[in-house]
Each structure stands twice: as C-alpha cells, then as structure tokens.
Amino acid sequence: MFEAPLTTRMKSDILEIFEMYDTDKKGGLSKLEFKLACISLLGFKPSKFERKELFPTPQSIVNRSLFVEIISKKMMRIDEQDRMRQIFNSFDKERKGYIHLENLKDAVNSVIRFEKSNGKKGSHSLSTFALETLLTEHDEDRSNRITYSTFCNLILKKHLMI
C-alpha cells in the first residue's frame, strides 16, 4: 500500500528503547521488557497472542534484530493507517464521514492531474461511468456514498490506485 521506509530517527529510537529495556544487557528482551518497550515506542502493548507466540517459555527472549523487525512493521502499519485517514479526509470535503460521487470524481481527477503534471505516463482519465460503477459496486448501504471502511477496502483491493 503506502510503504514508506522508516526514517533514521525512527530506527535510532527503536534501538535506543531496546537498549534501555534490555536491563540485564544480555542482548534480548524478556516478555515484560518487550511489553514495556512496545508501550514506550507505540503507545500500546502487544496482544496476548503475540506475546505467547514470541515467548513460548519463561526463558524466551526477543533479540535485537527481531525486535527491530517487529517494531518496524508495526510503525509502518500505524503510519499507513494515518496516511489512509488523511487521504480520506482530504476527499471528504464536508467532513461527514463519507465520500459522495462528486467528491470521488474531484479526488480522482486531482490525482490524475497531479500525476500528469509530474510526467507520469499512462491513462490520464477515468470516466464518470467508471466512477459510478465503482461507487455502485462498493456502496454497501445504497446511500450513494462511500464510508471510510469501504474506502480502505477499495484501496487495499487496488480497485482505485491513489
């Protein structure tokens, strides 16, 4: 979807938190240390399922490279969710929590104009019929509008590349 690599600062923060919570300096985090490190970096604790999977025994630890991998993926997911919400909000001009066909047309056309002005090749138009078809196919409650969750599903299914 919107895969933006972690910044140098984010990587540095991840490593700094790992070092801070690796209290015994053995190169790994215990179940409790991992939980606290996640709360420090992400603002929430990992699920019980995730903790059980990562820590099958009381002696299990998460080493530095695994910690960086896990946290990096979580940070990118959070960033993607924020970005998705920002995109949806930019299309929801009236701030009502849904996008009408006209908003969808304006949004798509603005993306097309932007891509065209930046020299991107390919099709630079999407017909009203195509947009109406898209809306009809995904308008779950037949209200002639698309909700945030439907919008996310459209993006995830790559029916509409934005």
Instruction: Tell which residue, 83, 108, 125, 109, has the closest CA to residue 160.
Output: 108
**C-alpha–C-alpha distance, residues 43 and 46, integer Å:** 10
Amino acid 155: pLDDT: 66
**CATH 1.10.238.10 spans which residues of the chain?**
8-82, 94-156
Share of the chain above pLDDT 90, in %: 31
**92-96, 116-120, 131-135, 154-158: which is most confident:** 92-96
**What is the residue-averaged pLDDT of the chain?**
79
Structural fold of domain 8-82: Recoverin; domain 1 (1.10.238)
Indicate the burial class of 115 (C-beta count within 10 angstroms; 0-12, 13-18, 19 or more).
Answer: middle
The 10s digit of each residue's pLDDT in 72-88 is 888 887 767 777 777 78
> How many residues are present in the chain?
162
pLDDT digits (tens, 9 = 90+) for 29-51: 999 999 999 988 888 889 899 99
CATH number of the structural domain 94-156? 1.10.238.10
Q: What is the CA radius of gyration of the chain?
A: 21
Q: What is the pLDDT of residue 2?
A: 46
List residues bridging with 78 in a β-sheet.
none
151 vs 14, which has greater pLDDT? 14
State pTM to two decimals.
0.52
pLDDT digits (tens, 9 = 90+) for 61-117: 999 999 999 998 888 877 677 777 777 887 887 788 888 877 777 766 665 565 555
